A and B are shown apart, each in its own frame.
Chain A
Amino acid sequence: MTVSNAIEVRDLTVWFGSGTERSDAVKRATFSVAEGGSFGLVGESGSGKSTILRAIAGLVPTWSGEMTVAGEPLGRKRSPAFYKKVQMVFQDPYGSLHPRQTVDRVLSEAMQLHGLTDIDRRIARLLEDVGLGTGFRFRYPHQLSGGQRQRVAIARALAPEPKILLLDEPTSALDVSVQAEILNLLADLRRERALTYVMVSHDLGVVGHLCERAAVMQQGEIVEVVTVESLRTGAVTQDYTRHLLASAIASAR
């Protein structure tokens, strides 16, 4: 029996603008993520990583190609059932939380939206699971640190009990010390809840920590799909990947 794929993306092209102003942010991207797998998208800023995630999440209407989630093809519109299964965590925890909702409201709204019951107990447990504790329950985003906000954003994504998380640079807006905490939290959550991750990062170290495989992107195209092993050993085939590795090593020193 073969392992089924949680996500398949084939010849995905995403564009912004139309006519002469059209620019393709993603060009014929193809990759797949096994169920329970963790897949990275790496590349420099502007290479189209976030756009792929947003296209999967149904936040960009202008795309062509094929995308399937758990074997089901995705159309223009996403059903509520889709969002029950697939959730997204955004890069900037300052901008991505509703400024006028308490943590409690954010989470209960997400749960109600997907018809969950026993919300009170669920919220308490969820806050424990993301390492916040119930003391944070009635706070507003502006009363939280960056790391705490990102924990809330992760809790919000987990609230409908999804199977797949789309993570858009979940740590890049945070201090280095906080980054490691969040990465460990994400690793733990994935193990405990058997989640599938698609994670965007421009940081090879972050991808190496959390992913098994990664696509290397350059100017909207996937130039190479590599295993994390080969990233570690340097057994990559593309010059561009080598260049990324070299600059990552240089900045680590």
Chain B
Amino acid sequence: MLTYLLRRLILVLPVAFGVSVICFLLVQIAPGDPLTAIMPVDATAEEQSAMRAAYGLDKPLPVQYAIWIGNLVQGDMGKSIATGRPVAAEVFGAVQNSLLLAVSAAVIAFPIGIFLGFLAGYFRDIWIDRAVTAVSIAGVSVPNYWLGIVLVIIFSVNLGWLPSMGAGPGGSSEWQWNWLHMRHLILPAVTLAVVPIGIVARTVRALAGDILTQDFVQALYAKGMSRADVLRHVARNAAATALSVMGLQLGYLLGGSILIETVFNWPGSGFLLSNAIFQRDLPLLQGTILVLALFFVAMNLIVDVAQAAIDPRIQRT
């Protein structure tokens, strides 16, 4: 198991390198000059090239990449062009907020999805199954930003129960574990949970339905095992695959919540990303994308290792 872990960790290096190169180039090939956003319209050519030199944009690409990476491993991701604040601080603050939102959504979505999926897989092809399937298709197909807006209209505008903007009172982005802040989390987390409920429910339904028809389950019954114990076995067999689906869903929740964060003004990475794009804030954009991508890589790694740990059929060498 230890050698497997080491091997997987070493394999992450080339992936991380590739991710960093792509992040770097992605921004280079994007149209437009980032400096035009912050320079006065009537800036002279000398002023422009001085600015360019100050941000290192005058050097050849490989050199720019080397400098960028060199700073990166020291935790320095440069300064935001728009605000002048360190990118690292901005990104990590935002990622923390996104993580909070993503994990809350997952905490809502995964148990519900698993429960519904198991129910549908067990009562296959009768009304329970059809109802769950309908719910999960609706969950996956309803645009969640639209759902978010509907929820805001109902719970914030009409009923006035829950706030609709920001992560705390007065638009504060400093999270605290108290009701004043947590009220702000409820609507975005519920909205974000809807898609993964559908996806997890469908996955678990297929898994449980498939495992229940296998002979070894019949063999468990024929051994004299009670229904509850047999279902426990089915659940453990479904766990490995369900886990990997949920791990990837968590990754999607973290990176894919741009629209939700925008709808709810949630100060997370998606919100930061959209700001960075609109302001042509190149260092901030690079930093945000890189951190999100590396998070995805890490998530994949964790899922693989967890899967190998619980499923003996997966080679661990």
Contact = CB atoms under 8 A, between A and B. Distances in A.
Contacts of A87: 222-223
A80 B226 CA distance: 9
Contacts of A57: 221-222
Interface in A44-62: 54, 57-59
Interface residues of B, number: 18
Contacts of B237: 98-100
Interface string A76-109: 0010101110011011100111111010000001
A96 B211 CA distance: 11
Contact of A114 (B214, B224, B310): B224
Contact of B219 (A78, A100, A114, A156): A156
Given A83-B223, A88-B222, A113-B224, A96 B215 contact: yes
B218 interface: yes
A88 B216 contact: no
B225 interface: yes
B311 interface: yes
Nearest to B237: A100
A140 interface: yes
Nearest to A160: B224
Interface centre among B220, B223, B224, B236, by most A CB within 10 Å?
A: B224
Interface string B215-244: 110111111110000000100110000000
B312 to A, nearest CB: 5
A140 to B, nearest CB: 5
A142 interface: yes
A110 interface: yes
B215 A80 contact: no
A124 B98 CA distance: 55
Contacts of A110: 223
Contact of B215 (A78, A95, A156): A95
Contacts of A142: 312-313
A108 to B, nearest CB: 12
Contacts, number: 66
Nearest to A53: B222
Contact of B216 (A91, A99, A102, A109): A99
A78 B226 CA distance: 10
A140 B313 contact: yes
A110 B216 CA distance: 13
Nearest to A84: B224
A156 B223 contact: yes
A224 to B, nearest CB: 28
Nearest to B224: A83
B224 A90 contact: no
A65 B223 CA distance: 24
B224 A99 contact: no
Contacts of A98: 216, 219-220, 233, 237
Nearest to B213: A95
Given A140-B312, A140-B313, A142-B313, A96 B219 contact: yes
Contacts of B311: 100
B313 A99 contact: yes
A96 B236 contact: no
Contacts of A100: 236-237, 310-313
Nearest to A87: B222
Contacts of A91: 215
Nearest to A54: B218
Contacts of B310: 100
A150 to B, nearest CB: 12
A59 B214 contact: no
B210 to A, nearest CB: 11
Given A88-B219, A100-B236, A95 B214 contact: yes
A75 to B, nearest CB: 15
Interface of B: 214-216, 218-225, 233, 236-237, 310-313
Given A59-B221, A80-B224, 16 more contacts: A57-B222, A78-B224, A83-B224, A88-B219, A90-B218, A95-B214, A98-B216, A98-B219, A98-B233, A99-B216, A100-B311, A102-B312, A109-B223, A110-B223, A114-B224, A153-B219
7 smallest CB-CB distances across A and B, nearest first, come from: A83-B224, A96-B215, A95-B215, A88-B222, A140-B312, A90-B215, A96-B219
